[in-house]
Amino acid sequence: MKKIKHSEITPENIYKKRRSFVKKLGFGASALAVSSFPLISNASSKDRNELTSYKDITTYNNYYEFGTSKGDPHRNSKMFKTHPWNISIEGEVDKPIKLSMEEILDSFLSEERVYRLRCVEGWSMVIPWMGFSLSKLLSKVNPTSKAKFVAFESIYDPDQMKGQKYPVLNWPYKEGLRIDEAMHPLTTVVTGLYGKKLPNQNGAPLRIFIPWKYGFKSAKAIVKIKLVEKMPMSSWMWASPREYGFYSNVNPNVNHPRWSQATERIIGEGIWAPRVKTLMFNGYGDQVANLYTGMDLKKFF
């Protein structure tokens, strides 16, 4: 398959027009996947498939390293340096490696993947990410039989990230997945969005995205991936274990202790737009529910 360059991806306005044209023809999302991009993944409800604007995606962010207000990351990350950048992959593996961002981009095909981002505060976006399955990256190191979990660590640089000067979280930011979650094809290494280089405020130069989990599970500006035998402690679990469990699957039947998770507000539709029903696993249940067969998802939240 031909490697897609960022310069070859359709601009936002034409991208949306083509998407609308395909819809009018009645082909739906599956035809769009064939005619436009290597992979499109959507939630099941048609009213959730409209793309969020580039402006909203890049100016309304949760990224506490740059501040706790939604507009802080856009304002405070402009000078953040993402080159040179190296990512180490180590731990319970046969072949630990360190890769530069250039090596990653040269080695792996970036595809356009449209996923819904659902945040624990009750809002959501539909984002056209550029990226590839994390499993492709992990296969380079050959995980051993002891590798039961995958831990992610973000950069620690308080000189560039003013938010890290305050003990809002236990820096550097850390997250984790079970190995089968990490190897699932929907778990994505993100390198860009809307066919453009990933903006600093969205996690440049490289982040993880797990579409059936709440957005905070998707570690940004990653510098280390470590395969481990025991469940790692994530930053939000450390901050408030009562509110943020390890699995953090989108589950409308489990309320956050301080608010309901049953509905969500779609960013870009205005504050007075009606809220929509939250879907189990963010709408990706057909693909991922089998990962949790036999588990009590109220206990393992």
Q: What pLDDT, on a 0 to 100 scale, did the predictor assign at position 16?
A: 61
Q: What pLDDT, on a 0 to 100 scale, did the predictor assign at position 271?
A: 82
Angle, CA 269 vertex, CA 268 and CA 275 arms, to 5°: 120
Q: What pLDDT, on a 0 to 100 scale, did the predictor assign at position 20?
A: 55
* Entry pTM: 0.87
Q: Which domains, ranges and CATH numbers included, belong to the chain?
A: 40-292 (3.90.420.10)
Give the amino acid at 27: F
Q: What pLDDT, on a 0 to 100 scale, did the predictor assign at position 270?
A: 86
Q: What is the mean pLDDT of each run of 10 residues along the chain (301 residues)?
A: 40 57 37 33 51 98 98 98 98 98 95 96 96 97 98 98 96 98 98 97 98 98 98 97 96 93 94 93 97 97 95
**DSSP per position, the chain:** -PPPPGGGSPPHHHHHHHHHHHHHHT-HHHHHHHHT-S-----S-GGG-SPPPHHHHHHS---GGG-SSTTHHHHH-TT----S-EEEEEESBSS-EEEEHHHHHHHS--EEEEEEEEETTTEEEEEEEEEEEHHHHHTTT-B-TT--EEEEEE---TTT-GGGGSTTS-SSPEEEEEHHHHTSTT-EEEEEETTEEPPGGGTTT-EEE-TTBBGGGS--SEEEEEEESSPPPPHHHHH-TTT--SS-B--TTS-BTTB--SEEEETTS-TTSPPEEPPGGGGTHHHHGGGGTT--TTT--
Q: What pLDDT, on a 0 to 100 scale, did the predictor assign at position 33?
A: 35
Q: What pLDDT, on a 0 to 100 scale, did the predictor assign at position 1?
A: 35
